Amino acid sequence: MKTFNGFNSTETFTSMPDTLFRELLAEIEDADELKATLHALWRIEHQEGQLRFLRVEEFGGFASGVDKAVSRGSLLKVQTGDGTFILLNSPRGRMAAEAIQSGRIDPADVHHMPPVEHPNVFKLYEENIGALTPLIADMLREAEGEYPQPWFAEAFEIAVARNVRNWKYIDAILRRWKDKGKDERKDQQNAGKNVGRYTEGEFAEYLGGGEDDTR
């Protein structure tokens, strides 16, 4: 058996429904069914958009567990002329399945990419600001639940470009995007033309360089 080195604080995590632990784990006996269920939860959780599904061929060597998960009711299967599509039996999944079956949505027009390993906020902090402390870790966990994951890399990039290695400054950027809209991603393409946007007004109090003063 290959030895596992353990989980770490910088990897991304996948949200799992409590029902999986309260109910399904005790009932599922077939290994392939369990693998298919976990694979669907992982992959679909990392997709974007309203229509989230997997094609049956994406389950690889444990595809035999898909039908068992469908029979149990944890997964949904919709067949069209373009293939077989697997969805979670969740409110979003049920609405999507109905839309596919009624012909209102054609899943063949949707192309989902495999999950991308984005550096999470903990790794970004350690690489760009410094060592984590319990207080900072709590702030970062709270931020992960409040802002979309892709925003963090952009916000840290802006902070590094301005030489403001300060979590409060990064959080102010994220809060502005949430409150006023994320069209400000254009700043990344025109950083030299928009220096004032992140150095004036509500950002001025965080400027001063150096490491994070919240530690």
Cβ atoms of residues 127 and 100 within 8 Å: no
Question: Given this model, what pLDDT does residue 188 score?
Answer: 47
One domain for residues 45 and 76: yes
Which residue is listed with tokens 């596919």? 100
65 and 145 both lie in a single domain:
no
* 12 belongs to a structural domain: no
* Mean pLDDT of all residues in 184-206: 53
Query: 101 and 127: one domain?
Result: no
Last residue of a domain, one of 109, 134, 152: 109
- Is residue 195 over pLDDT 70? no
Contact present, 214 and 167 (Cβ < 8 Å): yes
C-alpha distances out from residue 17 to 24, 123, 142, 170, Å:
10, 25, 19, 30
- Residue 61 domain-assigned (yes or no): yes
102-121 mean pLDDT:
76
Report yes or no on 176 lying in a domain: yes
State how far the Cα of 90 lies from the Cα of 101, in Å rounded to an integer.
Answer: 16
Tell which of 56, 83, 109 closes a domain. Answer: 109
Taking the CA atoms of 83, 88, 91 and 92 in sequence, report the sign of the dihedral they define.
negative
Reported in sequence order, the residue ranges of 31-175 that DSSP labels E, i.e. its strands, are: 54-55, 75-80, 83-88
Question: Is residue 127 in a domain?
Answer: yes
Assigned domain for 2 exists = no
Q: Give tens-digit pLDDT for 61-71.
A: 888 999 999 99
Please check whether residues 126 and 105 belong to one and the same domain: no
Q: Which residue would you say has higher pLDDT here, 116 or 4?
A: 4
Asked whether the beta carbons of 100 and 78 are under 8 A apart, the reply is: yes
Q: How many domains does the chain have?
A: 2
Amino acid 202: pLDDT: 58
**58 located within any domain:** yes
Mean pLDDT, all residues of the chain: 83
The pLDDT assigned to 36 comes to 97
Q: What CATH number should be reported for the domain holding residue 61?
A: 1.10.10
Q: Assess whether 105 and 142 both reside in one domain.
A: no
- Which residues touch 112 (CB under 8 Å, ≥6 apart)? 43, 47, 52, 53, 54
Pair 29, 102 in one domain: yes
Section 109-134 average pLDDT? 79
Does residue 54 fall inside a structural domain?
yes
Domain hosting 183: range is 121-206
Do 86 and 138 share a domain, yes or no?
Answer: no
In a domain, 66, yes or no: yes
